[in-house]
Amino acid sequence: MKRSAWHAVVVSLGLAVSVPQAAHAHRGWLLPSATVLSAEQGWVTVDAAVSNDLFYFEHQPMRLDNLQVLDPSGTTVEPENRNTGRYRSTFDVKLESNGTYKIAVVGDALFASYKLNGETKRVRGTAESIRKEIPQGAEEVQVTRNQSRTEVFVTAGKPTDRVLQPTKNGLELAPVTHPNDLFVGDEAQFAFLLDGKPAAGVNVTVIPGGIRYRDQLSELKMVTDGAGRVTIKWPAPGMYWLSASQGGGRGPGAAAAGTLEQPQRRAAYSATLEVLPQ
Amino acid sequence: MRITCSIAVGALLGAPAAAADLNLKIEIPRLTVAEYHRPYVAVWVEGKDQKFAGNLVVWYDLKQKNREGTKWLKDMRQWWRKSGRDLEMPVDGLSGATRAPGEQVIGFDDGKEPLQKLPAGDYQLVVEAAREVGGRELVRLPFQWPPAAAQTLRAQGEHELGAIALEMKP
């Protein structure tokens, strides 16, 4: 019961992928109708969901409160026709300009857990609100800051680089190979940044979509090198889900127990990448 | 029938090498399908290393209102990656309307781009076809430029393309 209530809170933020305690593998993703377009003034429609299997909307919709769409000039554009249903959210983006758009759902929140009379309780919010919510006599207070970023890139015409510039906040992808220029058999190189600096030793997982129709996950696992980089050779065309996370007691630099002043931090990143046939 | 559309790039090779005559025959197969659309076809030249060297043909649905025919240009995936996405369609002397099933013959002028400036060497002619609600096929045909002797090089498509013949005369 408690677990599902907690989960509802998390899902409502679109943050299921960054729940530190979650042993279950819920995955948040954005799936666009196309990643490469040649139409002038084209549109993409995007499914946004949190699910077990990729890319099937079978669990929870991803909430769109923290949805950001950047056009090729880096200007925020407003998505249209937002809808959140039982299993997925959808929205449309009109591609007014040629170049690469970035569509992201970004989360940054504090979570605290504590024990009161032997019962574990959880709250989320800001440092201030959490301070007020935790009652006197609470024990084993643990505070975690969860940063998450779920992205997809879409290009009309020629790929451009403006939206690939990092925000320098949290864990981010800094593509060396353009994310809308991925072909089977080619090697793609991606760098990961934590607060804008190369993130070494980060575990990166790449899972091909279509899980429902195969027995094995067929994931590719790698660890970023000293420059924060990984190289991926695409085994087959299709949609892939790339994810990486750091901290939260899992990776290097994890604190033993977080406090309100110094929360344990977990930064997660995921992206949907389309690999085309040659 | 020799089709002299805007693509016909006349006699080639303003280069000091002797002018060469280049004719390309592309067979667009007649398919028995419920919904048939003429394929989009792109023809270009690339080096042995598959580096793009120049466009020869782009057939697409350029008659649609509001240039909506550009929507499917990206289905010629290799061409889109190597050149299409850098262009603003239509391109004079390159783009033309889609062609009907049957043999299509196009003559190229070695006095015009891209053949005019093509350095001597080994190349591949690449023909890529993509059909709405159908498939996509890419055929490569190696050739030497400029041709040393009159010759006809052939390749055969299997699905979206039929026989392809490149006739070259020094």
Q: Is some CB atom of chain B closer than 8 A to the CB atom of A276?
A: yes
**Count of CB contacts below 8 A, A vs B?**
30
CA atoms of A136 and B65, how far apart (whole Å): 70
Domain spans in chain A, listed from the N-terminal domain onward: 2-275
Residues of B in contact with A157 (CB under 8 A): 85
Cα nearest neighbour of B79 on chain A: A278
Query: Does the pLDDT of residue A169 top 70, yes or no?
Result: yes
Query: Does the pLDDT of residue B99 top 80, yes or no?
Result: yes
Tell me the ipTM for this assembly.
Answer: 0.83
Query: Does the pLDDT of residue A95 top 90, yes or no?
Result: yes
What's the Cα-to-Cα distance from A240 to each of A86, A99, A144, A155, A218, rounded to whole Å?
24, 22, 29, 17, 11
Q: Which of B70, B78, B128 to mutate to test the interface with A (most CBs of A within 10 A)?
A: B70
Cα nearest neighbour of A37 on chain B: B74
Q: Is some CB atom of chain B closer than 8 A to the CB atom of A185?
A: no
CB of A232 within 8 A of CB of A222?
yes
Looking at residue B19, what is its pLDDT?
59
Q: Give the pair of three-digit tokens for residue A204.
A: 């990166």
CA atoms of B40 and B128, how far apart (whole Å): 8
Give the 3-state secondary structure of chain A.
CHHHHHHHHHHHCCCHHHCCCCCCCCEEEEEECCCEECCCCCEEEEEEEEECCCCCCCCEECCCCCEEEECCCCCECCCEEEEECCCCEEEEEECCCCEEEEEEEEEEEEEEEEEECCEEEEEEECHHHHHHHCCCCCEEEEEEEEEEEEEEEEEECCCCCHHHCCCCCCEEEEECCCCCCCECCCEEEEEEEECCEECCCCEEEEEECCHHHCCCCCCEEEECCCCCEEEEECCCCEEEEEEEEEECCCCCCCCCCCCCCCCEEEEEEEEEEEEECC
Looking at residue A1, what is its pLDDT?
38
Residue B110 or A224, more confident: A224
Query: Does the pLDDT of residue A211 top 50, yes or no?
Result: yes
Query: Does the pLDDT of residue A12 top 60, yes or no?
Result: no
Q: Which of A35, A38, A275 to mutate to test the interface with B (most CBs of B within 10 A)?
A: A38
What's the Cα-to-Cα distance from A25 to each of A21, A99, A275, rounded to whole Å?
11, 34, 23
CB of A245 within 8 A of CB of A209?
no
Query: Does the pLDDT of residue B7 top 70, yes or no?
Result: no
Looking at residue B170, what is its pLDDT?
87
Looking at residue A42, what is its pLDDT?
93
CB neighbourhood size of A18 (10 A): 31
Query: Does the pLDDT of residue B5 top 90, yes or no?
Result: no
Instruction: Tell the burial category of A12 from Cβ atoms under 10 Å away from its Cβ (0-12, 13-18, 19+).
Output: middle
| CB interface of A with B, residues 30-59, below 8 Å | 36-40, 42
Residue A145 or B6, more confident: A145
Looking at residue B110, what is its pLDDT?
84
Q: Residue B9 — pLDDT band, cuts 50, 70, 90?
A: very low
Highest mean pLDDT among A48-52, A244-248, B7-11: A48-52
* Smallest Cα distance from A53 to chain B, Å: 28
B168 CA to centre of own chain: 15
What average pLDDT score do residues A26-42 get?
Answer: 95
B80 and A38 in contact by Cβ < 8 A? Answer: yes
Percent of chain B residues topping a pLDDT of 70: 89
Cα nearest neighbour of B66 on chain A: A40
Residues of B in contact with A278 (CB under 8 A): 77-78
Of the candidates B67, B71, B85, which has its C-beta nearest A157's C-beta? B85
Query: Does the pLDDT of residue B6 top 60, yes or no?
Result: no
Query: Does the pLDDT of residue A210 top 70, yes or no?
Result: yes
